[in-house]
Amino acid sequence: MDTHISTSAKTISGIMRTWITLLGPFLGLALVILAFSILTGSPEKYLSPFNIRVVLSQTVIVAVSAIGMTIIIISGGIDLSVGSTIALSSVVTALTVNAGFEPVVAVFAGIMAGAIVGLANGFVITGLRVVPFIATLGMLGVVRGVAKWLADQQPVNVSQTWINDLVVTFPNPPWLLLAPGVWIAIFLAVLMVVVLRNTIFGRRVFAIGSNEEAARACGIPTKRLRIWIYSLGGLFFGLSGVMQMSRLRQGDPTVAAGAELDIIAAVVIGGGSLSGGQGAILGTMIGAMIMAFLRNGCQQMGWPNYVQEIIIGAIIVAAVAVDQLRQRRT
């Protein structure tokens, strides 16, 4: 279709669209908070600094992984093995602590475990030409199995180290206000916003997701880039795993089953397109918070778990439907 559009109208609609894209997730978050403030009957409790701290430290694990997932999804990929990777990384961190290494080493080992899974995903996808959906679906099983094997099929309990303070509700020292993990997530989110916007790597991620063949014809080493992207994603998943371990105070090989749903949903609610070339870290963060406030609200209402699952499932579909409507209109 070659409809002629006057230049001035384009600019206005372009600006409008950018705003709507940014505003959409914000409005959704406001709506969720408003709804539960009213439903719980005590907004001062739901929005108390205490509860907000609780929600934020609950969000952190999903949020950090979602940063990595955003990059993968912008590049036109997907990683379904994220939940298993989180479990593996939490087990690896716990085992390293128990083996008597410094906590720093344990954290590094956990993050690297995630990166190695990402690297493997990247090689299978580019080298063996397996589509990302299947490659990472397979990896979901493999990694979960490896985690259980390493942990001998049971949670690995760890002794108290500073790792366990990463995502506590009341940080020490108190002037931090929020858990160190929350600050780490905020820092990484800001960093990746800048990386995606202002670096050649970032623009290449968008280019490969928008049109891989064009990217190749423009001299972008698409295979190597994809391997990098999955490995980078793996780093974030690994860090999530460390935080998961910190939260549970044990390395649990069965943890985070189904987390891929929450993480991918956060990206999609935040404006990411599963066909690639679109996505925003800020939107993803809001998406992760929408789900955290939802879960928290449901808990406060005393609703059973299945209600949360139904609501979150419906919200994912609604978010994508709204996005489709918006794209059709413009």
Partner 1 sequence: MPILQLREIVKHFGPTVALDGIDLDLHEGEVHALIGENGAGKSTLMNILHGAFRPDGGSMELGRMPYSPVDSLDARRCGISLIHQELMLAPHLSVAENILMGIENFRFGWFDKKALHKRARSVLENFDHPDIRPEATIGELSIAAQQVIEICRAVASNSRILLMDEPTSSLQRHDVERLFGLIRSLKADGASIIYISHFLEEIREIADNFTVLRDGKSVAHGKIGEVSDQFLVSHMVGRTVKNLFPKRTINEERETVLKVKDLSSPPALRSANLELRRGEILGIAGLMGSGRSDMVRAIFRLVDAASGTVTVRGNESQATCGTPASRISQGIGYLSEDRKREGLALSLSVADNITITRWSSCSRFGWLDLSKQRRRSEEMIAQVGIKAAGPAQPLKELSGGNQQKVAVARLIHQNAEVLLLDEPTRGIDIVSKAQVYEAIARCAAGGKAVLMISSYLPELFGMCDRLAVMSRGRLSRTRKISEWTPESVLQEAIGSN
Least CB distance from residue 50 to partner 1, whole Å?
41
- Exactly one of 10, 23, 45, 127 binds partner 1 (CB under 8 A); that residue is 10
Relative to beta strand 250-251, strand 156-157 is antiparallel
Least CB distance from residue 328 to partner 1, whole Å?
11
Helix axes 49-74, 222-248, angle to 10 degrees: 160
Give the closest residue to 318 by CA, choosing from 70, 39, 71, 27.
27
Residues 170-209: x where in contact with partner 1 by CB under 8 A, - otherwise, as a string: ---------------------------xxxxxxx--xx--
The whole-angstrom separation of Cα 90 and Cα 111 is 9
The yes or no reply on residue 7 touching partner 1 (CB under 8 A) is: yes
Nearer to partner 1, 214 or 310 (CB): 214
Q: Rule CB under 8 A: which of 259-318 touch partner 1?
A: 277-278
- Exactly one of 27, 217, 314, 321 binds partner 1 (CB under 8 A); that residue is 217
- Exactly one of 131, 218, 307, 314 binds partner 1 (CB under 8 A); that residue is 218
Nearer to partner 1, 172 or 199 (CB): 199
The whole-angstrom separation of Cα 255 and Cα 315 is 24
The yes or no reply on residue 13 touching partner 1 (CB under 8 A) is: yes
The whole-angstrom separation of Cα 46 and Cα 54 is 10
Query: How many CB atoms are located within 10 Å of the residue 154 CB?
Result: 12
The yes or no reply on residue 129 touching partner 1 (CB under 8 A) is: no
- Exactly one of 160, 213, 304, 306 binds partner 1 (CB under 8 A); that residue is 213
Nearer to partner 1, 13 or 172 (CB): 13
Q: Rule CB under 8 A: which of 141-160 touch partner 1?
A: none
Question: Residues, the chain, total?
Answer: 330
What is the dihedral sign for C-alpha 297, 27, 24, 51? negative
The yes or no reply on residue 210 touching partner 1 (CB under 8 A) is: yes
The whole-angstrom separation of Cα 256 and Cα 258 is 6
Q: Tell me which residue has tokens 């602590």.
A: 97
The whole-angstrom separation of Cα 324 and Cα 330 is 10
For the CA atoms of 81, 269, 232, 104, the dihedral, rounded to the nearest 10 degrees, stands at -80
The yes or no reply on residue 131 touching partner 1 (CB under 8 A) is: no
Q: Rule CB under 8 A: which of 70-109 touch partner 1?
A: none
Query: Could you list the residues that contact partner 1 (CB under 8 A)?
Result: 1-14, 197-203, 206-207, 210-211, 213-221, 277-278, 329-330
